[in-house]
Chains A and B, each alone.
Chain A
Amino acid sequence: MNTSLTNEKRFALRKKQPTPKQNLKRRKLSQKIAFGFFWLMGLIAIAVLFWIVGYVLAKGASSINLEFLTTRPAGGFDGEGGISTTIVTTIYLVLFTIVIAAPLGVGAGIYFVEYANEAQNHNKFVRWLIKTARTGVEILAGVPSIIFGLFGFAVFVSYMKLGFSLLSAGLSGACMVLPVIIRTTEEALLAVPDSYRQASLGLGATKWQTVTGVILPTALPGIVTGIVLSVGRIISETAVFWVTLGGSYRLPQNLMSSGRTLALHVYMLATETRAFDKALGTSAILIIIIILLNLAINITSRRFQKRLSGK
Chain B
Amino acid sequence: MVITSLEEKKPNKSKIIARNFDLFYGDFQALKDINVTMPQNSITAIIGPSGCGKSTFLRSINRMNELIPSVKTSGEILMDGEDIYTQDVVELRKTVGMVFQRPNPFPKSIFDNVAYGPRAHGLKNKNILEELVEKSLTDAALWDEVKDDLHKSGLALSGGQQQRLCIARALAVEPQVILMDEPASALDPIATLKIEELIQNLKKEYTIVIVTHNMQQAARASDYTMVFNMYPDRSGYIVEYGETSQIFTNPREKTTEDYISGRFG
Q: Could you list which residues of chain A lie within 8 angstroms of chain B, going by C-beta atoms?
A: 117-118, 120-121, 193, 195-206, 209, 213-214, 217-218, 307-311
Contact = CB atoms under 8 A, between A and B. Distances in A.
A204 B123 CA distance: 13
B57 to A, nearest CB: 16
B104 A193 contact: yes
Contact of A203 (B93, B156, B157): B93
B1 interface: no
A310 B39 CA distance: 40
A194 to B, nearest CB: 9
Contacts of B173: 203-204
Q: Is the interface of A mostly helix, strand, loop or mixed?
A: helix
A213 B166 contact: no
23 contacts: A118-B69, A120-B70, A200-B106, A201-B64, A202-B170, A203-B93, A203-B97, A203-B117, A203-B120, A204-B90, A204-B94, A204-B120, A209-B120, A213-B116, A213-B119, A213-B120, A217-B108, A307-B107, A308-B107, A308-B155, A309-B153, A310-B107, A310-B154
A217 B106 CA distance: 10
B19 interface: no
Contacts of B207: none
B213 interface: no
A284 to B, nearest CB: 40
Contact of B152 (A201, A205, A310): A310
A214 B93 contact: no
Given A199-B104, A202-B98, A309-B156, 8 more contacts: A198-B100, A201-B67, A202-B170, A203-B93, A203-B120, A205-B90, A214-B116, A311-B156
Given A198-B67, A310-B152, A203 B104 contact: no
Contact of A200 (B91, B116, B153, B154): B116
A206 B106 contact: no
B100 A310 contact: no
Contacts of B92: 204
